[in-house]
A and B are shown apart, each in its own frame.
Chain A
Amino acid sequence: MINSVGREIPDTIAGFKSMIPFRGAFEKGGSSPDFPSKKTRLLQGNRKVLTSMREALEKVGVESGMTVSFHHHFRNGDYVLNSVMNEISKMGVRNTKIASSSIFPCHEPLVTLIQKGVVTAIDTDYMTGPVAQAVSRGLLEAPVTLRTHGGRARAIDDGDLHIDVAFIAAPTADVQGNINGVDGPSKCGSLGYAVPDASHADKVVAVTDNLVNYPLTYVSIDQTHIDYVVKLDKIGDSTGIISGTTAITRSPIALKIAEYTAKVIEASGLLQNGFSFQTGAGGTSLATASFVRQIMKERKVTGSFGLGGITGFFVEMLEEGLFKALLDVQCLDLKAVDSLKKDLNHIEIGSSMYANPRTKGNAVDMLDVVVLGATEIDAEFNVNVTTGSHGDIMGGSGGHGDAAEGSKLCIVVAPLIRSRLPTVVERPVTISTPGEIIDVFVTERGIAVNPGREDIKQRLVDAKLPVVEMEKLRDTAKRICGKPTPIRFKDRILAVQEYRDGTVIDVIREVE
C-alpha cells in the first residue's frame, strides 16, 4: 500500500502486527478501529470552555439513569451540586444516581428532586441535614450506599462505582481544563476527593468561576482528564467553604479529654522523631493537637508528616519544623489553602493515595496516631459515626474506618454523655468501624484500652493515667442518664454502610 506521503507500506510483516498506512495529520481518516479509545480527541480550535451548564449537560449526553458525581471540598458553601441537578431536572432527566463524596445541609434542594423522581439513588461517604433526614424518613426508594473516603476511591478505581459524568467544582481552571483549588474567589485548597472521579468517569466537567489563560501553573487535576469547562458567576460561598475549622475548645470537659489524649499519645512511645499524626478539625481535636505540639516542642521531636483534613494548626506545626511535610487530601481553612499553594512540603494528595486500601500503598497505612470521634461505642470498641442514638442518619464514616485500620494507634475521643445520651452503649444503632481496629477510648471520666492492646494499657497505667474498663464507663453512663426507651426498627433498609474494602459492615433500617 502507498500511504499519503507516498511511501510503500506492507500490509503485514510476518510475526508482527498488521499495519494501517498513514492517512494524513489530524487523523483525517478518522480514528483507527484497531485503536479504539474511550477518550475523544480534542483538536486545536475545538473549545472546551462552555458558558452554560445546559450546554455542558447536552454535550456530555446526560440522560435518565446515569450516575453523576461531585466532591465535597466546598462543604456547606457548595453551589455546584444544586446547580447541576437543577439543570438536569429542567431537562426532564430522571432516575439519576448522585455519587457525592459528602452531602451537606446546603444540598436541601435534593429533597424535592428525590420527591420528583429526578434523583433515585445516592452513593456517599457522609451526609447531614435535610437530605439525611429525608432518607431517614424513607423518602428514597433505593438504599443509600455509605462508604469510607478510601472505600469510595477503591470503588471508583475498581469499577464498583461507575460514574457517567463527574462534575468537578474547580476554583481555578484554564481554558484547557487544568484545574486547581488554591486560587480564585472560591478557593478551597486540595481537590483530593475529586481525583478518582477525574481518572475514571466517562465524562468529566470542570465547573469554575475563575477561568484563566493557558497554562495553569499549579495543577491539581490536569487537562487530560477534563472534557469540558463550564464558567459560572459563582460556584460557592467562600465563608461556607472555609468553614471546616473551629477554634480550640474552651469547654473544660473537652479540654480534659484533650489533655488525657495527648498524655496517651506521649505514653504510647510513638511520640518520637518521625512521628506522624492525623486528627480532625473540631474544638477537641484542635485542643489535642495543641497539647501534642507542646509536648513535641518540649521533647524536641521532629515529626515526619501530618495527614488529613489539614487545618491552619497543622500548618503552624509544619512551619515550626515539627513536621517535615503535610499530606493534604482536604483543606479545612484558609491558612491551609494558602500554605498548600506556597509551601513545597505541603503536598496535595488524591483520595486513593490517602486511603484506598487496594492500591500500591496509601498514606493512612503509614500513620502512627489518629484521633477520631464517635457518636456511640460499645464494650467491644465498635464505633458508630453514621447514625444518632435516635436512629436517624447523621454522618457517615468519612475517613474514619480508613485511618483506624491504617494507623498504629487509633484513639477515639468523646464526652461520656452528650445531653443525656450516653456515648458508651450496650448496642450501637449502627456499627461503622469495627472494634478490632480501635485501640483506646478517651472520655473525661476515664480511658479504656482495647483488651487486644495490653502493651498500650501497661504504658498508660505506668504513666498514672486513669485507665478504666469500658463496661464501667457504660454502666456509669447508664446510671447517670437512666434507661432509655429501646428504639424499634422496621424491616426496611434505608442505607448500607460499607467498610473500606467494599464488604458490608452494617445496614441502617427505618425507625418505627
Chain B
Amino acid sequence: MIGRAALFVPVDSPSMINNCVVFDADSLIFDLEDSVLIDEKDAARILLREALETLDFLRDKNVLVRINAPSTQFWKHDLMELIQSEVRGLIIPKATTAGIEAVDREITKLEKRYAVQHRISLVPIVETALALETVDQILNSSKRNIGILFGAEDYAADMGIQRTKEGEEISYARSKLANAAHAFGLEAIDTPFTDMQDTEGLRKDAARAKMLGMTGKTAIHPKQIDHIRSVFTPTQEEISQAFNVVRVARKNRERGVGTFSLDGRMIDPAVIARSRFVLKLIGAEEGSSK
C-alpha cells in the first residue's frame, strides 16, 4: 500500500533515514535515483541495505524504494543489493512497457535464486508522453503493479510545456492516470509539490489531484505530510458509508448475493471494492501508534 501521503527519503542522509519513521507518512519511499549523485550510487545502495537489515523501526512501516531507471546501468545492482532485505515495493522511474517487463523478469529470477518468501510489488512512474499514452500497456506488463506515480516535472520537460503551480497543463495527465489506475484497481499517486514554503498552494494542488481521482500524493519534506494526508483522507461521511457497505456486503456474500441495494444506492462489486479501499486508506492510520 502506498496510501495518502508517501514521503521521499533521500538515502544519502543517515539523519533522514533515522528519523523518517517519526512523521505520519503512510509509506516511505527511499530514493536511490534523483537525490543520489552518480558517484554515490554504490554508497547509497549499501547504506539502504544495511538500514533495512538493522533498523527494526522500519519493519512495521510500508517501505518502498525508488531504484534507478531500467535505462541506466544501475538498476540491476540496486535489485541485487535489495533482494534479500525486507523491501516489498519498488518504484520504477521513467517507466516504459519494456522496462517494467525487464524489471519484472529480473525480480522473478532473483526471487527464485534467493528463495525470497515475500512478493515484491512495483509502482511505475509515468514521466513521459509515451508512458502516459501507453499507460494501460505498462500496467498490463506486470502483475506486480500496485499503483502508478506521476512525475510531472519530467513529463512537462518531455512535452516541452511550462510547469505552473495551478497545474492546468497536467490536468489531462492526472485524469488519464487516475482513470487507468482505477480501471486496473490500483492506486494513483500524484507528483510532488515543489514549493516548500507555500502551504496553501500545496493544499490546493493536492485537492486538484484528488478531484481528478488520484488517491494520494508524494511529499518531499516531512512538513508536507499532514497537509497531504488531510486532503486525501476520506470524509467522516465517506468513511461511515464505506463501513456500512463492507459490513452489509460481507453478510450478503455469505448468502451468495453479489449486488444489492443499500440506502437507495445500487451496490455492485465495484462499489464494494471502492469502499474497501477507503477503509484500507484509513485502516493504515488505525494500525499506527496513535
Contact = CB atoms under 8 A, between A and B. Distances in A.
A209 to B, nearest CB: 42
A444 B23 CA distance: 9
Contacts of B221: 252
Contacts of B290: 464, 466
B263 interface: no
B198 to A, nearest CB: 15
Interface residues of A, number: 14
Contacts of B105: none
A252 B57 CA distance: 18
A255 B24 CA distance: 13
Contacts of B57: 476, 480
A480 B19 CA distance: 11
A468 B22 CA distance: 14
A479 interface: yes
Interface in A464-493: 464, 466, 468, 476, 479-480
A465 to B, nearest CB: 8
B51 to A, nearest CB: 12
A255 B57 CA distance: 21
Contact of B222 (A252, A446, A468, A476): A252
B254 interface: no
A283 B18 CA distance: 21
Contact of B22 (A253, A464, A479, A480): A253
A341 interface: no
Given A252-B221, A255-B223, A479-B56, A444 B22 contact: yes
Given A446-B289, A464-B290, A466-B289, A256 B23 contact: yes
A252 B19 contact: yes
A162 interface: no
Contacts of B19: 252-253, 444
Contact of A252 (B55, B223, B289): B223
Contacts of B289: 446, 466, 468
A459 interface: no
Contacts of A445: 22
Interface in B207-224: 221-223
A468 B288 CA distance: 13
Contacts of A253: 19, 22
A444 B19 CA distance: 9
Contacts of A255: 222-223
Contacts of A480: 18, 55, 57
A480 B56 CA distance: 9
A445 B289 CA distance: 10
Interface string A445-469: 1100000000000000000101010
A468 B55 CA distance: 20
A255 B196 CA distance: 15
B123 to A, nearest CB: 24
Query: Most B CB atoms within 10 A — which of A252, A253, A256, A464?
Result: A252
A252 B56 contact: no
A256 B22 contact: yes
Contacts of A464: 290
B72 to A, nearest CB: 30
Contacts of B55: 480
A480 B221 CA distance: 23
Nearest to B225: A252
A252 B9 CA distance: 13
Nearest to A415: B19
Nearest to A476: B57
B7 to A, nearest CB: 10
A444 B221 CA distance: 16
Interface of B: 18-19, 22-23, 55-57, 221-223, 289-290
Given A464-B290, A476-B57, A480-B18, 5 more contacts: A252-B22, A256-B222, A445-B22, A446-B289, A468-B289
11 contacts: A252-B221, A253-B19, A253-B22, A255-B222, A255-B223, A256-B222, A417-B18, A444-B22, A464-B290, A466-B290, A480-B55
